[in-house]
Amino acid sequence: MRHLYRCPLRWADMDAYGHVNNVVFLRYLEEARIDFLFRPEKDFKQGSVVARHEIDYKRQLVHRQTPVDIELWVTEIRAASFTLSYEVKDGDLVYVRAATVIVPFDFEAQRPRRITAEERAFLLEYTDDAGADAGAEEEAVAA
């Protein structure tokens, strides 16, 4: 299953060339990620941090009044991290493909923490790949 976020475009998102600036796409991904992770019924209350972004720009997105769709899903779950993948798109027209590695984080102890059983169950609902949880087993054996 994939999570869908309808992201509004802002006039200030454009650059001198008249299209959405490349850096702004990271803000769009952040908005989609927050919408996904911090819903009232499912929440990473214990905290998390971004460890890595990877982004591929496929085509220009020009400012308009209508929002752009961001589809988000889980592609990997490990013992102490998970990866979200995204497509910023209109129907079949893809502007950006991206991925973000998220590390659950204990802000009081100032260190990474393991994913809880509840968080893992939630993330598993949004995997497109049945093997997404395999990395956690390998990591648990190595620990």
HEC string of 56-69 equals: EECCCCECCCCCEE
The domain spanning residue 101 has which CATH number?
3.10.129.10
Would the pLDDT of 84 be above 50? Answer: yes
Would the pLDDT of 53 be above 60? Answer: yes
pTM attached to this predicted model: 0.84
Q: What does the pLDDT look like over 97-107, one tens digit per residue?
A: 999 999 999 99
Q: What pLDDT, on a 0 to 100 scale, did the predictor assign at position 134?
A: 42
Number of domains, the chain: 1
Q: What pLDDT, on a 0 to 100 scale, did the predictor assign at position 57?
A: 97
Q: Please give the residue range of the domain that contains residue 16.
A: 3-142
Would the pLDDT of 120 be above 80? Answer: yes
Name the percent of the chain lying above pLDDT 70.
Answer: 85
Q: What pLDDT, on a 0 to 100 scale, did the predictor assign at position 126?
A: 95
Q: What pLDDT, on a 0 to 100 scale, did the predictor assign at position 47?
A: 86
Angstrom distance (rounded) from CA 115 to CA 104: 6
Would the pLDDT of 96 be above 90? Answer: yes
Give the HSE-up count for residue 123: Cα atoms under 13 Å, Cβ half-sphere: 26
Would the pLDDT of 143 be above 50? Answer: no
Q: What pLDDT, on a 0 to 100 scale, did the predictor assign at position 39?
A: 76
